[in-house]
Amino acid sequence: MGAAPNRNSAMNPVLAWSVVADAPLRGMALAREAGTILAWDEADRLYLIDVLGTLIVKQKLPARIVAAAISDDGSLTAIVTAGSRLILLDRALEQKTDRASVPDPSAAAIDPLGRYVAIASREKMIQLYTSYGKIAGKVVSLQPISHLVFVPTKPILLAASAYGAIHAYEIFPGSEPGKIDLEIAWKEGQLSSVGRLTTTGDAGMILASCFTHGVQRFNAEGKSEGSYHLGGSAAHAAVDFSGRRIAVATAEGELAILNRTGNVRWKTGLPRPAVALECDALGRYIIYGLATGEIDRLDLESTSTEAEDSHRRAAPKPLENPAIRSKSSAASPAAGSIRRADWTMPIAKSDSDADSIVLAVLDDPPRIALIGRDNRLTVYDQNGRKIGVAPEIIGVGRILRLEPGFVVAATDRMIVIYDVRTNTSRRLDMSFAEISHLEPSLERFGLAIIQERDRLGRASTEGNGRWIWRREIDSPVEYCAIGRASAFAATTEDGLLRIFDAAGEPLGSYSTDPAEPLALIEAPEGSPREVAWLSLAHRVQRLRGHSLEGDVLWETAIPWESWEMRRIGDAAVVTAPDGRTLAIRGSGDVIAEAGPLEPPFQVCLSPDKIIRRVTYRDMNLMCSDLKGETQWRAVLDSALGPAIAVGSTGVAVMIGRELAWFAHPRLETS
């Protein structure tokens, strides 16, 4: 809780419990008669929690959750997923049916007894289904609908459009068994979009949260009865069954309890704005959820100051219960836990300095490399101790490249090499102009350097550095890689894969048809001996394994247009713009697949050789495996900066002007 409640008020709310989802919260609904809470998070995981804060069921859905609803008696749950699928679940979240739904769905609602499900489409349509998934009725809406709610004691469906209009549809028995008809009873225009639509049991009080226009109130006939204003943007309003108590959460992070006349009985500040808000039927408690994953129950009447203080000292607990039946794969012992950084330290003197920092995580030995506006490479150990600073390098741009035991830092004009094992550094005494690509393999090759995207070279790093060979080509380079036998490969804008031997002489090539620039990596660890390179054609969706000379040895279809390919351990990890991910061995066999994940994110290998995705957005940092199981996550005090680096030892990130380190825990795998 934020600000302390008003002690002079007759109302003295108490935080009864606080639990935390595995990932940032996306939505929540309350089954008021059953006393259960349905919640869903950004990892598309469903939770069923009782009103005592105990987790009953948790399960992972295979697609992104667009909308969800639960009946008041808890007998039916409806989930609408990406791809316009409607999934109906029973009270234990066991699947009853999975069928096609309306195109471009936007909202869902279930009548209190779980008999009918209403799904709205942005294509101006509302479709109703029975509890078994059969189509029961359909109506064309006047505008695209963003909110739906059934009136508990009357055959009325309320709807709010994306443009602020409120509609009421009367429900009648249809001409055929199992069918129902809908007719519009009234409509009311608004001047604001609606963040939430709710009603009392008899629709005598219909509330629309209209942001800067406050909470607008209507009666059962659609007549305006005024509004409630709290001085902020009303994003969520919830009301008990009789309308005796109203809870309102604002976009600015305030939470208030009002009576039906609009008097504020109690008000406080939340750590962050609520993304969901529910009130029980009798007005005894409210439940609110924060974007960062916390779900809190606030008891509205209590006279025990001691109990209140005790609850407020209690930290939120992760949603774990060894007695529950989890319907996802076995979660790690740390799953769902919110953690803090292992350490933080001030690094930057200003926000602009912080924004200019580039980070890298070296795994062997564990080190964090940082280069900032002063163009000096600084190296820290995993305990946050500064162990060395390299000489300044002049130029623009900041490049950091790693290999076991070494960090290579560069601008467009200079290169410095830091030996982590001896904590020594040296600047190469060589002339460069507009370095665009840099790849190190100091023991078997030296440095592969590309200047102005079309001048290739191999440089020795012995002494002050020297060129072994240089060559100019006729098309700009997209990607490059170093292979065995000191071979070097580059892909160019004209769709060619060009390969050079240790002396810089052409060794082989491959041309795409149709021509497109290829992503390129050296074959992952454990690949067949004959496979030297992997190339990825984004548009034609093909991953190919090549011999050292460029011949295609195998080809694997990628089921979607890809965005990026990285070499991680024994796999090539291919990602799509929407976050879908494939891990493929050097033999072309797919070994793991993951569904969509909202970017940005990075991929790394854990200490347990598990491929993980690290997601970072706003004030959330989350690490999960490719099955979607959350390994750990952090809720930060301020927004993440642009600088982040991941490795098998941990995650380094700038939080404001501070460098923070999150070490990967070693987790047992099932």
- CA-nearest of 133, 134, 107 to 120 is 107
**Angstrom distances, CA of residue 216 to CA of 190, 194, 202, 241, 644:** 9, 10, 17, 18, 44
Mean pLDDT across 248-261: 95
Task: Report which DSSP code applies to 211.
Answer: B
Domains of the chain: 329-397+600-670 (no CATH), 428-596 (2.130.10.10)
Task: Round to whole Å and give the CA distance between 270 and 2.
Answer: 5
Q: What is the tens place of the pLDDT at every residue in 121-179?
A: 999 999 999 999 999 999 998 889 999 999 999 999 999 997 789 999 999 998 888 89
pLDDT at 381: 95
**Angstrom distances, CA of residue 269 to CA of 248, 256, 431:** 12, 9, 59
Task: Round to whole Å and give the CA distance between 434 and 94.
Answer: 60
pLDDT surpassing 90 at residue 595:
no
Q: What is the tens place of the pLDDT at every residue in 35-47?
A: 999 999 988 999 9
Residue located via tokens 């055929």: 176
Phi, psi of 306 (to 5 degrees): -65, -45
pLDDT surpassing 70 at residue 3:
no
Task: Round to whole Å and give the CA distance between 291 and 283.
Answer: 24
Query: Which residues are 227's β-sheet partners?
Result: 216
Asked whether the beta carbons of 96 and 83 are under 8 A apart, the reply is no
Asked whether the beta carbons of 360 and 645 are under 8 A apart, the reply is yes
Mean pLDDT across 259-265: 94
The three-state secondary structure class of 333 is coil
pLDDT at 668: 43
pLDDT at 322: 37
State percent of the chain over pLDDT 90: 78
- CA-nearest of 162, 229, 147 to 192 is 162
Tokens of 221: 């006939």
Q: What is the tens place of the pLDDT at every residue in 268-300?
A: 999 889 999 999 999 999 999 998 889 999 999
Sign of CA dihedral 135, 140, 141, 146: positive
Please count the other Cβ atoms lying within 10 Å of the Cβ belonging to residue 192: 17
Between 93 and 320, the more confident residue is 93
Average pLDDT, the chain: 90
Q: What is the 3-state secondary structure (H, E, C) of 405-416?
A: CEEEEECCCCEE
Q: What is the tens place of the pLDDT at every residue in 441-468?
A: 999 999 999 999 999 999 999 988 999 9
Encode burial over 126-150: b for 16+ CB neighbours within 10 A, e otherwise: bbbbbbebeebbebebebbbbbbbb
State percent of the chain over pLDDT 70: 92
pLDDT at 598: 80
Task: Round to whole Å and give the CA distance between 540 and 514.
Answer: 8
Q: Give the DSSP H or E segment for 313.
A: helix 305-313
pLDDT-derived band of residue 10, with 50, 70 and 90 as boundaries?
A: low
- CA-nearest of 289, 287, 270 to 278 is 287
Please count the other Cβ atoms lying within 10 Å of the Cβ belonging to residue 559: 11
237 CB-side CA count, 13 A: 33
Mean pLDDT across 8-32: 88
pLDDT surpassing 90 at residue 388:
yes
pLDDT at 305: 43
Please count the other Cβ atoms lying within 10 Å of the Cβ belonging to residue 285: 20
Q: Give the DSSP H or E segment for 519.
A: strand 519-522
Please count the other Cβ atoms lying within 10 Å of the Cβ belonging to residue 186: 14
pLDDT-derived band of residue 539, with 50, 70 and 90 as boundaries?
A: very high
Between 50 and 317, the more confident residue is 50
Q: What is the tens place of the pLDDT at every residue in 82-100?
A: 999 999 999 999 999 999 9
**Bridging pattern class, strands 590-594 and 601-605:** unpaired
- CA-nearest of 641, 635, 627 to 332 is 627
- CA-nearest of 307, 332, 306 to 318 is 332
Q: What is the tens place of the pLDDT at every residue in 191-208?
A: 688 999 999 999 999 999
| Residue count (the chain) | 670
Q: What is the tens place of the pLDDT at every residue in 411-429?
A: 999 999 999 999 999 999 9
pLDDT surpassing 50 at residue 489:
yes
Task: Report which DSSP code applies to 338.
Answer: B
Q: What is the tens place of the pLDDT at every residue in 614-651?
A: 998 778 899 999 988 888 889 888 878 889 999 999 99
pLDDT surpassing 70 at residue 70:
yes
pLDDT-derived band of residue 4, with 50, 70 and 90 as boundaries?
A: very low
Mean pLDDT across 550-561: 96
Sign of CA dihedral 549, 555, 556, 560: positive
Q: Give the DSSP H or E segment for 97.
A: strand 95-100
Comparing 5-19, 100-114, 386-400, the range with the smallest average pLDDT is: 5-19
Phi, psi of 353 (to 5 degrees): -65, -40
